[in-house]
Amino acid sequence: MPVKKLKDFLDSNGVKYVTVNHSAAYTAQEIAASAHIPGRELAKTVMVELDGRLAMAVLPASMKVDFDRLQRVAGAQKAGLADEVQFSDLFPGCEVGAMPPFGNLYDMDVYVSQRLAEDEEIAFNAGSHTELIRLAYADFDRLVKPRVAKIGYGE
């Protein structure tokens, strides 16, 4: 999703947000450092496969997906990391690995770490490795309607 499309979606839904530009960074922890945001407050979007369908797992940058937990939460028989080939065409205008966590716009389930849901704000990649969007978690929850659960190691 190009950044403009995401911003138009947020604007049309009356969401207040800020954009944060930072130097190019590719891992969630590098992005957090570059944007001066603690890793536990930056959301990363991990593309996963649940029984053959794509979904998004959204966790703090400092966490890893616990696929056993995600499988149980999703009621799936099989859960694993999606292959880039499976999803790169779904997000035109987005750099691979920088997809915003708005799976609802792609008819995709979104699972959010309980840790992120406890924060007042959420920050995430805005389709590139140089720009973040930060907004109230309540607005994200209202628009995306994610399934909130303990899906990361250490939760």
Going from the C-alpha of 36 to that of each of 14, 60, 84, 128, 132, the distances in angstroms are: 26, 14, 28, 17, 11
Give all domains of the chain, ordered by start, each with its CATH number: 3-149 (3.90.960.10)
Q: How far apart are CA 10 and CA 40, in angstroms?
A: 23
Q: How far apart are CA 31 and CA 28, in angstroms?
A: 5
Global model pTM greater than 0.75: yes
Q: What digits encode the pLDDT tens for the residues 29-85?
A: 777 777 777 766 789 999 999 999 999 999 998 899 999 999 999 999 999 999 988
